[in-house]
Amino acid sequence: MRGVLGPGATFFAPMEGVTHPTLRQLMSERGGIDVVCTEFVRVTDGPLSLRTLKRHVVRPPRGLLSVQVMGNHIEHMADAAAMVSDLGADIVDINLGCPAPRAVRKGVGSAMLKDPALLARVLAAMRARTSLPLSAKIRAGFDSADHVLTIARAVQESGADFITVHPRRRVDFYAGVADWRIIALLARELAIPVIGNGDIWYAADALRIERETGCSGVMLGRPALRNPWVFQQIAALRRGQVPPRPSGRDLAVHLRDLAERLAAWLGPLGVLGMLKEQLRYLGRAVPDDGHFLREACRQTSVEAALGYVDGMLSDRPAADLDLAAEGGRLEKSGSMAVGRSSAESPAQDLRAPDAPCGLEFGASPT
């Protein structure tokens, strides 16, 4: 990140099946995003597909493009770093955090947190093959957060320019509340910039996490699906301006715009499923105990879904939705105060095998 982005950089997070070129372009056009990230490109033991890589390396209209790769084959990951660099990426990122069972079974994503020596060899090989900024996105650990600093130092010593941390363990998936003390620990101990990620649900949370943890920037994924204007709101707050607050009509127009772009990209097949993925998060901002979300996801065609959204949301004023920049009442944002003490000792305070930090650990599905 050094020499590429200044303090307070904003990242639209990589999300499998979600941050495809169409959504990245729409979000980038809206503004406020410094870096858009691709969904991960899976690097296997087989030959790399230039065609697959080209499909991911689509530059946004604004900002920089980070291409994320996921794998554990040292030579092929190094080749992937070189190839995405040649294809026009601005940043090369490695996925060390995916909690999905199929990734773990293959020994990639968050599974690599169990073997810091391997992830260091992979990163060092990638470093040798690209002159672009190199980054890693990690979780706090696999089963335990005891070794998060060891993992992060391995990333740093392998030549990464910055690191993004989601402060949950793999076993947590997305349950409980993100423990921002882990981000603060890494920001304090590492020489490279640390990007904070995890439960930054409202725009004001972005400024708060930077202030409280000392992180150098923020990465938002699910919160940006829930509120597609959140990056604009963050930018406005940084400038001391009044942030936009979307209305129900704004959400309906956004969804229809996305549907039209998806249809142009994919054809008619597949659009409904992708719209419902968006509705899973947009619906969380509607304070009706999930009624809107349930009914929207029961629709059986694109037009039916869009018609339902239009009918239910178009007349809703902004005040009726939980999308204010300053924070709301429906989501539980990350915290530096989730436990009894500060994150001085990962082995003592951050491992939380029996939830001593007060988090509600479980296997809930970013």
Which residues sit opposite 220 in a β-bridge?
Answer: 12
Joined together, the tokens standing for residue 164 give: 């993004």
Helix (H) or strand (E) holding 248: helix 248-266
Separation of alpha carbons 282 and 205, rounded Å:
18
Separation of alpha carbons 111 and 114, rounded Å:
6
Answer for the pair 205, 327: CB distance below 8 angstroms, yes or no.
yes
* Known catalytic membership, residue 297: no
Spatial CA neighbour of 230 closest among 312, 187, 285: 285
Question: Which residue bears the tokens 């989501």?
Answer: 331
Separation of alpha carbons 31 and 263, rounded Å:
23
What's the sign of the alpha-carbon dihedral 345, 203, 173, 196?
negative
Answer for the pair 224, 23: CB distance below 8 angstroms, yes or no.
no
Spatial CA neighbour of 230 closest among 264, 205, 257: 205
Spatial CA neighbour of 151 closest among 336, 356, 350: 350
Instruction: Please give the distance of CA 310 from its chain centroid, rounded to a whole number.
Output: 28
CA triple 165-53-174, angle to 5 deg: 30
Separation of alpha carbons 106 and 43, rounded Å:
11
Answer for the pair 18, 225: CB distance below 8 angstroms, yes or no.
yes
Joined together, the tokens standing for residue 342 give: 């500060």
**Residue tagged active-site, from 37, 98, 215, 357:** 98
Spatial CA neighbour of 353 closest among 198, 143, 148: 143
DSSP structure string for 148-164? HHHHHHHHHHTT-SEEE
Which residues sit opposite 10 in a β-bridge?
Answer: 218
Would you name the residues annotated as active-site residues? 98
